[in-house]
Amino acid sequence: MTDLIKPHKSLTLRRVVRAVEASLFGTVSNPGFCLACGEACDDCEPDTVMRGCRHCCAARVCSATYVLTSMPLVSYGPDSRAYDAIRRGAK
C-alpha cells in the first residue's frame, strides 16, 4: 500500500463494506470515498480511481469497490479486530 492509496482514518473496513453492500442491493448507486478527507461521494463508477473531490478538491476520490480491494486488512479504530476474527474463523 503506497501513501497515495492509504485511506483517511475515518474510512474503516465496516464503513466501506456497508457502502459496497448498499450498492449491490440498490440502496445507493455507485458510492465512493475521498482518500484525503474521508467524505462519501456519489456517482463513482466502479473503476473510478483518483477523481477530484467536491469537498476538499484533492484528486483522491475512488469507488468504494476500489477502496475495499485496496485498503489494508488491518484498519483504523474499532474495525482493527476484523482481520484477526476472519483469520481465526478460517483455521
Rounded to an integer, the average pLDDT of 27-48 is 89
pLDDT category, 34, cuts 50, 70, 90?
A: very high
- 8 within a domain of the structure (yes/no): no
pLDDT attached to residue 25: 85
Flag whether 5 is in a domain.
no
Domain membership of residue 4 (yes or no) is no
Range of the domain at 28: 13-90
User: Per the structure block, which three cell numbers stand in for 43?
Assistant: 456517482
Q: Apex CA 29: angle with CA 23 and CA 70, to 5°?
A: 55
Determine, yes or no, domain membership for 66. Answer: yes
User: Is residue 39 pLDDT above 80, yes or no?
Assistant: yes
Contacts of 24 (CB under 8 A, 6+ apart): none
- Integer Cα distance of 87 and 81 in angstroms: 10
> Higher pLDDT residue, 3 or 50?
50
Residue 46 lies in a domain: yes
pLDDT band at 77 (very low <50, low <70, confident <90, very high): very low
| Residue 1, pLDDT above cutoff 70 | no
Task: Give the number of domains in the chain.
Answer: 1
Residue 24 belongs to some domain of the structure: yes
Alpha helices, DSSP H, located in 1-91: 13-24, 64-70, 82-90
pLDDT over 90 percentage in the chain: 22
Structural domain contains residue 6 = no
pLDDT value at position 53? 92
